Amino acid sequence: MPLQPHDETWKTLHTHIDEWVAVSKTHTLEGHVASYIPELANASGDILGICLMDSEGQTILSGDSNFRFTLQSISKVFSLILALMDNGEDVVFSKVGMEPTGDDFNSMLKLELIEPGIPFNPLINAGAIAISSLIAGQSPDEQIERILHFFRDIANNPSLSVNQNVFKSESDTAHRNRSLAYFLKDNGVLDQEVDDVLRVYFSHCSIEVDCTDLARMALVLAHNGVDPIRKQRLIPRRFVQIAKTFMFTCGMYNASGEFALNVGLPAKSGVSGSILTMVPGQYGIGIVGPALNRKGNSTAGVHLLGILSQEFDWSMF
Ligand code: DON
């Protein structure tokens, strides 16, 4: 079935979005705010906000769309793209695989179980740590600067920066990520030192944004690497294709299959309760709802996307 014309969709969204957000907000009660990074536990569990952006930059905002949060795992999509731009596909896929794991996002199970000990994909923690080490730069500081520069460009927001409190909180408590990184080092996946690569990884996870930043970043992916507002290509099409494919197969972790069935859009979640998704060729969407389900995805955010996808027949299938 062809997509409904833009004007009609936009009008319906304007009329109904607040009511849909209110319905989905009740699902925040089913989740819990992440606490394994202590600083994230300060977020209120009943928050739900959304921004939808069309290709002219018009936005529809609803709920707590001004709430600020850190990118967390959503950053992995854009660090992957930058690593691809810096190194090309062959190098990147010598360090990470292309398959979903079916395990939790911070699992180390398959690193030991299955040869050759490279992470299954770039969106699990182990894979994203391997990817961080591929970002070009003479030092971790330079790598972080390059990441910030790239993310600011995609979001068209020069003020994006690292939330130092979240960075420190994450760095101080990242025992699991540290063990993953040492495992990778031992398996010969990391050229960089463990502490250096983790600094780069925690920094990109701790970049602070709001729903509008997410929607703008998503819009560039929705348009295959072109910012339709500035009419400028920011990412080669092939690398967006790779990123969106991973989002589809692994972006919601071990709930990616369920999300594909119920929503049917490429998406990436983060433990801050954020979700970046898009309607290909049309809209960028940013959502935040810090209460998470067991798999680390926003309960209310996933619910809201279910409503929107059904209402507008957005599933790609
Ligand atoms: O490394 C971590 O655990 C966090 N910085 C990111 C994890 C995350 O967002 C998983 N998402 N659902």
Q: Which fold has domain 6-69+210-312?
A: Beta-lactamase (3.40.710)
Per-residue pLDDT of 251-300, as tens digits, reads 998 899 999 999 999 999 999 999 999 999 999 999 999 999 999 999 99
Residue 274 in contact with ligand 1 by CB distance below 6 A: no
CA distance 31 to 291: 5
Q: Which fold has domain 73-205?
A: Beta-lactamase (3.40.710)
Domain boundaries, the chain: 6-69+210-312, 73-205
Q: What is the pLDDT along the chain (317 residues), one digit of tens a residue?
A: 456 789 999 999 999 999 999 999 999 999 999 999 999 999 999 999 999 999 999 999 999 999 999 999 999 999 999 999 999 999 999 999 998 888 888 888 888 777 778 999 999 999 999 999 999 999 999 999 999 999 999 999 999 999 999 999 999 999 999 999 999 999 999 999 999 999 999 999 999 999 999 999 999 999 999 999 999 999 999 999 999 999 999 999 889 999 999 999 999 999 999 999 999 999 999 999 999 999 999 999 999 999 999 999 999 99
Is 271 labelled as part of a ligand binding site?
yes
Is 253 labelled as part of a ligand binding site?
yes
Is 170 labelled as part of a ligand binding site?
yes
pLDDT of residue 106: 86
Ligand 1 mean position, distance from CA 245 (Å): 19
User: In a mutational test of the pocket of ligand 1, which residue from 35, 37, 39, 73 has the highest number of ligand atoms less than 8 Å from its CB?
Assistant: 73
Ligand 1 mean position, distance from CA 233 (Å): 29
pLDDT of residue 111: 81
Quote the tokens at residue 248. Answer: 């589809």
Is 99 labelled as part of a ligand binding site?
no
Q: How many CB atoms lie within 10 A of CB 29?
A: 11
Residue 125 in contact with ligand 1 by CB distance below 6 A: yes
Check if 6-69+210-312 and 73-205 are the same fold. Answer: yes
Ligand 1 mean position, distance from CA 206 (Å): 10
State what percent of residues in the chain have pLDDT above 90: 91
Residue 106 in contact with ligand 1 by CB distance below 6 A: yes
Per-residue pLDDT of 147-164, as tens digits, reads 999 999 999 999 999 999
Quote the tokens at residue 66. Answer: 């001004």
Quote the tokens at residue 110. Answer: 């398959």
Residue 296 in contact with ligand 1 by CB distance below 6 A: yes
User: In a mutational test of the pocket of ligand 1, which residue from 70, 125, 247 has the highest number of ligand atoms less than 8 Å from its CB?
Assistant: 125
The answer to whether the CB of 221 falls within 8 A of the CB of 243 is yes
Residue 4 in contact with ligand 1 by CB distance below 6 A: no
DSSP-H helix ranges across the chain: 6-25, 75-87, 89-95, 109-113, 125-132, 140-155, 164-173, 175-186, 194-205, 211-222, 237-250, 256-262, 299-312
User: In a mutational test of the pocket of ligand 1, which residue from 76, 78, 106, 298 has the highest number of ligand atoms less than 8 Å from its CB?
Assistant: 106
Complex ipTM: 0.96
